Amino acid sequence: MMATGAAFGATVMYFCDPHRGKARRAELRQKAARTARQGGQTLTKHAMDMLNRAKGTLAKANATLGPCEENVDDAVTGERVRSRLGHVTLHAGAIQTEVASGVVTLRGTIARDKRRHLVDEILVVPGVTGVRDHLVSESSM
């Protein structure tokens, strides 16, 4: 009990000191405000992360259940194919794509060992109904 009273008295003296007390109180307020601000930012960051993860999980579930779009515009399908190409190969610029009624025509050069994988990846793009492979295989790229 006496130790608690002594600690309380020392704290009051520390913050009420006529020479440095005002600066110490201001510093304490600034630290408390910064901690509260950081806590709010951290909370917001974690909430956004959880929301984005939930959206991703929902999107994966919807994709697994099957396509919800019957007629996808060829321009949209073309953009999806170009995006997928960028993820599959480092040389996406060497491949030209053309989409007509959901059928993708591929022209260009690609490494022999990457060709089959590329075609398989394009086949799973939403809106693609088929692939015409006019790619030229090279032994090393």
Q: Dig out the tokens for 88 from the structure.
A: 């599959």
pLDDT at 15 over 80: no
Question: Residue 139: what pLDDT?
Answer: 67
C-alpha to C-alpha distance for 26 and 38, rounded to whole angstroms: 18
Whole-number percent of the chain with pLDDT over 70:
94
Q: What is the pLDDT of residue 140?
A: 53
pLDDT tens track for 60-79? 887 777 655 567 788 999 99
Specify whether the CB–CB gap between 78 and 101 falls below 8 A: no
Residue 70: its pLDDT value, please? 62
Q: What is the mean pLDDT of the chain?
A: 85
Q: How confident is the model at residue 9 (pLDDT cuts 50, 70, 90)?
A: confident
pLDDT tens digits, 84-113: 998 888 888 889 999 998 899 999 998 888
For residue 111, what pLDDT is reported? Answer: 85
The tokens describing 33, both together, are 């405000």
What value does the mean pLDDT take over residues 37-52? 89
Token output for 94? 């060497």
